[in-house]
Amino acid sequence: MTGWSPRGHLVGSYGLPALAVLLFLVFSLALPDTFPTRDNVSSILSNQSIPALLALGATVPIATGKFDLSLGYGLGLAHVLVMYLVVETGTPWPAACLGVAAGGALAGAVNGIVVEFARIDSFIATLGTGSIMYALTGRLTDGSRIVPGPGGLPSSFTALYDGRFLGLPLPAFYVLAATVVLWVVLERLPFGRYLYVAGSNPRAAAVLGIPTRRYSVYAFATSGLLTGIAGVLLAAQQQIG
């Protein structure tokens, strides 16, 4: 039986961030006139904010040993639903965004319930719910685009993606906030430790009295919430459904 290796722990914890910094330095040295510029960094932070939110959303169920394959379908549905509510029904955009984010959390909770209480493997369950989301997306669009009127979308709505703070795109701060919150929850609070225990050893978690099924539902709900937020940002970016 091998002992615990501090070096291995450091590599596992900080290997990817260190690699990202190394790659940034390499490209900065190779392309000093284009890569490390403020415009390029801002573009990267803005364009990668939506995939980053989806990645953060996928991380939470993984902590419980489950996988959410409905993220992409949920992103598309959230995007189209925001546009449908704002353009087709005239719903104020703040209410539409909050409703879609809450709906994402609810859809994630349904994923968790199907996985935990129907005892269906997370791959199969979330692929099935994802197919339902895809069908709902097609039903909302009816095979066509949702296009705003001549006045376009409210500028305050599109500013969710186009806006800037301290010279940086707003989406970068959304990702930063979500990352900090998840880090605190998963690494510093009992909730996160319960998730890890439930994922690594469900039997031990049950012996300790941890309601593993409930925490798994919470994990999927968090994933759905972040997916809904990502869909809102995608709608603000694309400005078309």
Q: What is the pLDDT of residues 219-240, one digit of tens each?
A: 999 999 999 999 999 999 999 8
Report residue 234: phi and psi, to 5°.
-65, -40
Q: pLDDT tens digit string along 10-38?
A: 666 677 788 888 998 999 999 888 888 88
Per-residue confidence at 1, pLDDT binned at 50, 70, 90?
Answer: very low
Tell me, what's the pLDDT at 8? 64
pLDDT above 70 covers what percent of the chain?
95
Residue 168, judged by CB atoms within 10 A of its CB (0-12, 13-18, 19+), counts as: middle
Buried b / exposed e across 125-149, counting CB within 10 Å, b at 16+? bbeebbeebbebbeebeeeeebeee
Average pLDDT in the 55-77 region? 95
Q: pLDDT tens digit string along 43-59?
A: 889 999 999 999 999 99
Cα gap 241→239, rounded to integer Å: 7
CA 163 to the chain's CA centroid: 20
pTM of the model as a whole: 0.90
Amino acid making up residue 205:
A
Cα gap 58→151, rounded to integer Å: 36
Tell me, what's the pLDDT at 12? 63
Per-residue confidence at 3, pLDDT binned at 50, 70, 90?
Answer: low
Report residue 165: phi and psi, to 5°.
-145, 125
Flag whether pLDDT at 2 surpasses 60: no
Other Cβ atoms less than 10 A from the Cβ of 75: the count is: 25
Looking at residue 3, the DSSP 8-state letter turns out to be P
Q: Domain extents for the chain?
A: 1-36, 39-238
Tell me, what's the pLDDT at 100? 98
3-state secondary structure (DSSP) of residue 92: coil
Cα gap 80→239, rounded to integer Å: 10
- Cα 136 to Cα 47, 74, 133, 221, distances in angstroms: 26, 10, 5, 19
pLDDT above 90 covers what percent of the chain?
68
Tell me, what's the pLDDT at 174? 96
pLDDT higher at 66 or 149: 66
Beta bridge partners of 165: 168
Tell me, what's the pLDDT at 181? 97
Pick from 187, 186, 188: which is nearest to 215 by CA? 186
Cα gap 41→34, rounded to integer Å: 10
Q: pLDDT tens digit string along 127-178?
A: 999 999 999 999 999 888 998 988 889 999 999 999 999 888 999 999 999 9
Flag whether pLDDT at 41 surpasses 90: no
